[in-house]
Structure 1
Amino acid sequence: MTDDPLLDAGAYFRKKTGLHRFLSGLIDKYRSLGRLGGRVALSDLSPEEAAALSGLLRADYRSGQEASIRADEFAIALAETRFAALDPVAVLGAFAGEALISKKEAKRRRARAWNDLVDRCRSEFPTANCVTWLEALAERRPGTATFERTFHADPGFADELRLVLRALANLPDRYLRLPLFSAGISGDPHAFDLQTSAGTHLLAALETLHRQRVDRGAAAPLPARSETSETEYQSLLLGRFFLVRDDIANFFSCSGLLAYRDDRSEPLPMWRHADADAAVLNVPLRELLRIDRLEPARPGPVFVVENSGIFAALLDGQGEVGPALMCLHGQFKLSGWMALEKLIEHGAELHYSGDFDPEGLLMAQRLIQRFPERIHLWRYTVTDYHASQPQVALTAQRLAKLEKVVHPQLLPLKEAVAKAKCAGYQEALLSFFLEDLGFSIK
């Protein structure tokens, strides 16, 4: 016994285990209806439940039977006990260990708590990126629901939200490795590792910001997740905000390009010597981060292929020196995008050729969308498709990817591939590539 009758009532009913299923049913009814009403249905009563209900409700309940009990019967029964002065709903709350509120009210309170947090963060983080993202959170736009759910489940989420906002407020304007960025924001170089919750939340925030940039026409879209690996998608997304993950394994290959640092008029020695020796460079992202300019060694376009076998064959056909060549090695990596950006920034024209399959068309589309004024398709027409002697049958799953090819420049090729249902590959066009470049055919 205590001096608080409500505490005593809660303790009393918690000891009555035979009533627990009934009382829990009453609580569920209250939360659903917002009032004490309806009926509680109980099946297969245990002997203990039958005895406890019979004693409380002054009715005959039998073990193994079912019971359907009106909610107001509890209030009537409570009036016959030493707890008669207490509100039945308050007693149920004491039993549950918390004040009862309806699901509707609980939802309203959760929404208000979330909105209050977002409003406080708006005043704390007034920078453009933060305001844009917080508006998306407040309006519960697509891709933001996970934040509100996490907030309600994790009391420490508010601090993590502020950590992500500090990151958004201080995004770099030059490429920076993610661990260095993390250390600058939080003191912990692993704070935004992508397997951590903060890293996951940062990615989601960046995805929301990037989606809005695309909607405004201020950025080209990223590839769909189905078109690339999740790791590569994450790297590309981070790269749009000048954040870099893996800077060694992420590379492209090239010949006939020169790189410059700062305002120096002379190319960097490694690049100069490689060009003089007609050598191939495999350039990791790490090296790209150290240069400011990338240009063809000689006047003319840069010829870009995605197939390393074709790249090697073109190199075999050239003499001591030739036009600038690049190989992106399949699906585009951040290193490839960054190299293309640096070339275009300094006036280079790019001629691109890929395979005649749904994946190849989607890659070409991404390039055209990203650099619409500077990308020229090379040997990538319906005529070239037929010349590639397409024979590899495409599955229905791969053919379905053609629906995503929407750029007018690629529609005739899309229709040809869809009609033939076969893929064509660059290897069959090698003699044409060599002829276009003025190389010998061996």
Structure 2
Amino acid sequence: MPVKRIAGKTADTRFIWHAYKQDPDTLSAQLTTVLKASTMLPEEGKYERIPFFSQRVTGNPHFFDQNRFEGRLFVHCLFTSQLLKGLIEEMPKTTEELNELYANAGLMRDDLWSFVTCRAFLAETENGLHPVWREAAAAGTVMNVPVKELLQLTNIWPRVGKKVWIIENSGVASAVLDEVPDAPVICTHGQFRTAAWIMLQRLAENGCTFYYSGDLDPEGVAMAERLSNRFPGQTVFWRMDPDAYLRVLSEEDISARLSKLDAVQSPKLLLVANEMRLKKKAGYQEGLADLLVEDLKKRWAGGKEI
């Protein structure tokens, strides 16, 4: 936990200063435990349920529960660490954001509710080719796969080729799936969940290229930037340019959310980010559905990658 941030008395550190005024010795012990925990996180690519992690580190499975001060302190420690790495922009405010914070550290709150939707992929376990994934790919079945199942897999790859098409919006993804049978498509249903990151990591290890399409608003652009940062050289921004943005421009004012674009560094995303700063309006993926279908049909004909 960077000392400078606490010393700066930022808004997110007020609860720490309050604890210091109440009982500095107790806070010192709590900080020591939290810092110890930050050095004992799961190895990269591995995941551990938070109660089991807490038991391993402290001997108490509830030590880092959200209703405890130590839990809040631990979240702040993860936040400051990930802020420095560019993995996160602000303290989590929603359950999904908190889940992502934990997932970035290899920790899980819920391995059933976090799932990713996909079609036309194959997977292996230590026992070989997974029969459910094999049959689903052969039948063109769309699957909702939770973290619990993904963690049993040792390998995931597209049924054909190395291109993976990632769509943020579930309605748009469903329309694309209807029009382009057998194409390897992933739907994230908004912000990336733990399940999506696990699947994408397995695919990245197989040298896949990710074509990502999201809403043309600050949140969607930030998601694209996050994906590119995590998988540099393997991410292509799909219809996330100024022309696409102007095509789907809405009347929704995003002036209060434009600060989320400050972290964008990718030259291609900066083009659309700068246009957003000028227009101060959101653009939505639904207006691009026909173009996404057209793009995919050009690269995916008769079940073969072009």
Q: Whole-Å Cα distance in 2 between the matches of residues 211 and 299 of structure 1?
A: 35
User: Which of the residues 260, 263, 288 maps onto 2:150?
Assistant: 288
2:294 equivalent to 1:435: yes
User: Secondary structure in 2 aligned to 1:355?
Assistant: coil
2:169 equivalent to 1:275: no
Q: Whole-Å Cα distance in 2 between the matches of residues 400 and 137 of structure 1?
A: 25
- Number of the residue aligned with 2:90: 224
- Number of the residue aligned with 1:50: none
- Number of the residue aligned with 2:37: 167
Q: Whole-Å Cα distance in 1 between the matches of residues 290 and 4 of structure 2?
A: 58
Identity across matched positions, percent: 34
Aligned structure 1 segments of 4 or more residues deviating by more than 6 angstroms: none
User: Which of the residues 113, 118, 133 maps onto 1:254?
Assistant: 118
TM-score (norm 1): 0.60
The answer to whether the 8 A contact 1:301-1:323 is kept is no
Q: How many residue pairs are counted as aligned between the two chains?
A: 293
Higher radius of gyration, 1 or 2: 1
2:208 equivalent to 1:344: no
- Superposed displacement of residue 350, structure 1: 0.3
- Number of the residue aligned with 1:49: none
User: Secondary structure in 2 aligned to 1:323?
Assistant: coil
The answer to whether the 8 A contact 1:223-1:233 is kept is no
User: Which of the residues 63, 78, 101 maps onto 1:206?
Assistant: 78
Q: Whole-Å Cα distance in 1 between the matches of residues 83 and 264 of structure 2?
A: 19
* Greater strand content: 2
Q: Whole-Å Cα distance in 2 between the matches of residues 332 and 211 of structure 1?
A: 17
User: Secondary structure in 1 aligned to 2:113?
Assistant: coil
Q: Whole-Å Cα distance in 1 between the matches of residues 5 and 271 of structure 2?
A: 41
Q: 1:162 to 1:360 in 2, by over 3 A?
A: closer
**Cα deviation 1:239-268 (Å, max 9, x = unaligned):** 222111122211221111222224x5x321
- Superposed displacement of residue 353, structure 1: 0.8
- Number of the residue aligned with 2:253: 394
Q: Whole-Å Cα distance in 2 between the matches of residues 420 and 152 of structure 1?
A: 47
Q: Whole-Å Cα distance in 2 between the matches of residues 396 and 162 of structure 1?
A: 41
Q: 1:300 to 1:436 in 2, by over 3 A?
A: farther
TM-score (norm 2): 0.84
- Number of the residue aligned with 2:304: none
- Number of the residue aligned with 2:174: 312
Q: Whole-Å Cα distance in 1 between the matches of residues 15 and 279 of structure 2?
A: 44
Which protein, 1 or 2, shows the higher relative CO under an 8 Å CA cutoff with sep ≥ 6? Answer: 2
Structure 2 unmatched ranges of 5 or more:
302-306
Q: 1:158 to 1:351 in 2, by over 3 A?
A: same
Q: 1:247 to 1:433 in 2, by over 3 A?
A: same
Q: Whole-Å Cα distance in 1 between the matches of residues 152 and 76 of structure 2?
A: 29
- Superposed displacement of residue 363, structure 1: 1.8
Q: Whole-Å Cα distance in 2 between the matches of residues 211 and 303 of structure 1?
A: 28
The answer to whether the 8 A contact 2:177-2:183 is kept is no
